[in-house]
Amino acid sequence: MGAETRNLSLRLSLCPYWHGWDPTAGEPQSPLIAEDCGLHRRYLRWRRVRIARPDRDSLNSMNERPHKEQFRFPRWTNTIRPHLGLGLTVAPLYLIALIYYAFNPTTTMSGYQPPQPVEYSHTLHAGELGIDCRYCHFTVENAATAAIPPTEVCMNCHASILTESTKLLPVRESHNSGMPIKWVRVHDLPDFVYFNHSAHVTRGIGCESCHGRIDHMDQVAQEQRLSMRWCLDCHREPENHLRPVDVVTTMGYAPAEDQIALGSRLRLENQINPSLDCSTCHR
Ligand code: HEC
Ligand code: HEC
Ligand code: HEC
Ligand code: HEC
Ligand code: HEC
């Protein structure tokens, strides 16, 4: 294949109206193709493809074409016609529903905020009382998962604080029966994704970067979409989020200097290079 021919067939295949007609071989042979190739012709003109001149013989044979050679839709296609109108009304509704569904928080899961069995508030405990995240989520630095505190952690205080509170009744019941409180999971990646808290927290990614201002949440809501893109955006440019390791649990952390300058320096000093390999997160 010569370079020019290859170039041409490439340009032809790029034409959205192409039905298999090769203009360098002369005029189209079927009237159907001829018709929609009006569009194709315009496209070719725009693309500056030269159409070969038809010779007299092939022109004559086109005029003499017997009628029965014309393409006709089979009879059964007539039964589709009444449904066509229905399709045209349903299609936009379907599209709207699809878009609505795609952006709905229960689909994207950001903003997901299930009710919990106890009115436990992070605003009160992590915010006003200033209890460090690691007091309750004590595995977060050493393990893949951040532990949800067992009832005993609550009882460290609530054995003596607000012992009569009705809001704390489920906590006392759990303590007496030994049955754990049935907290409802908020963040939940699909099973085919591997995530690891300690790999992030010990390298200088704060809880806030992924969970938002937990200390402003009376009831925990999921702030980020936890999509693959979200993970990858930060794995490509972690300097947008890196902070000194001793402030990973600080809420509302604002660096004294420019975040990018700080992040870039920390990245270099600690050789932080998050992997983009599929196998890092899909094992
Ligand atoms: C006094 C204990 C305590 C402290 C302190 C605490 N948490 Fe929690 N945390 C809990 C409990 C209990 C739950 C489960 C109930 C809920 O989701 O509200 C929870 C849930 C969460 C969840 C949602 C887990 C899920 O199901 O997806 C996140 C995220 C979280 N905490 C982050 C933090 C951060 C960040 C801090 C520090 C700023 C913090 N927590 C401080 C007790 C605590
Ligand atoms: C370090 C101590 C401490 C720990 C640990 C702790 N709390 Fe509290 N909690 C408090 C204090 C102090 C208050 C009350 C503040 C006030 O209203 O004076 C409180 C208030 C509450 C209230 C509100 C009760 C009411 O009647 O208003 C609930 C519910 C609660 N805590 C649940 C929990 C749960 C669940 C845990 C375990 C995950 C927990 N707390 C762990 C100190 C603690
Ligand atoms: C790099 C982002 C990121 C950082 C930083 C991060 N988390 Fe998470 N966290 C997640 C993701 C993603 C999940 C859901 C994990 C899953 O479904 O397997 C999660 C889940 C949780 C849970 C629910 C239990 C679990 O492990 O699934 C708790 C509690 C939690 N995080 C607390 C914290 C605390 C506290 C910190 C800071 C010390 C923190 N996280 C830092 C992304 C992060
Ligand atoms: C805000 C930034 C940030 C986000 C968001 C983030 N990561 Fe990371 N991730 C990092 C950094 C920084 C490291 C540590 C790289 C290093 O140690 O060189 C890391 C490391 C990891 C590691 C450990 C790799 C190893 O070598 O063991 C895994 C696994 C991982 N991330 C998975 C995820 C997944 C899954 C998500 C999304 C649910 C995610 N990360 C979101 C910044 C992020
Ligand atoms: C930093 C972590 C991370 C890396 C690296 C990563 N993924 Fe993912 N991937 C995710 C997360 C998180 C999800 C789940 C997204 C969701 O639930 O919306 C996901 C979902 C997927 C899905 C399912 C998509 C869907 O719509 O259900 C496929 C396929 C996939 N990843 C392929 C890959 C391939 C191929 C690579 C390598 C080029 C890769 N991933 C690298 C985190 C990662």
Residue 258 belongs to a domain: yes
276 and 202 fall within a common domain: yes
Distance from Cα 233 to the centre of ligand 3, integer Å: 17
- What are the respective helix, strand and coil percentages of the chain, to the nearest 5? 50, 0, 50
153 lines ligand 4 (CB under 6 A): no
Q: Which two tokens stand for residue 27?
A: 């005029």
168 lines ligand 2 (CB under 6 A): yes
Residue 180 belongs to a domain: no
In whole angstroms, give the CA distance from residue 208 to residue 221: 13
Residue the block writes with tokens 């022109």: 59
The alpha carbon of 227 is separated from its chain's Cα centroid by a whole number of angstroms, namely 4
121-126 average pLDDT score: 98
Pick 82 or 184 by higher pLDDT: 184
211 and 139 fall within a common domain: yes
208 and 267 fall within a common domain: yes
Kindly indicate the confidence band of residue 197, based on its pLDDT and cuts at 50, 70 and 90: very high
Cβ atoms < 10 Å from Cβ of 207: 23
Distances (CA, A) of 75 to 18, 71, 72, 149: 26, 12, 9, 70
92 and 205 fall within a common domain: no
Distance from Cα 35 to the centre of ligand 1, integer Å: 67
Return the ligand number nearest the Cα of 130.
Answer: 1
13 and 59 fall within a common domain: yes
Name the pTM for this structure: 0.79
Exposure on the CB side of residue 141, measured as CA atoms within 13 A = 13
Instruction: Count the domains in the chain.
Output: 3
231 lines ligand 1 (CB under 6 A): no
CA angle 235, 185, 204 (to 5 degrees): 30
Residue 127 belongs to a domain: no
- Tell me the pLDDT of the chain averaged across its residues: 82
| Range of the structural domain that residue 266 is part of | 132-148+187-281
Ligand 4 atom nearest to 270, measured from its CA: 18
150 lines ligand 2 (CB under 6 A): no
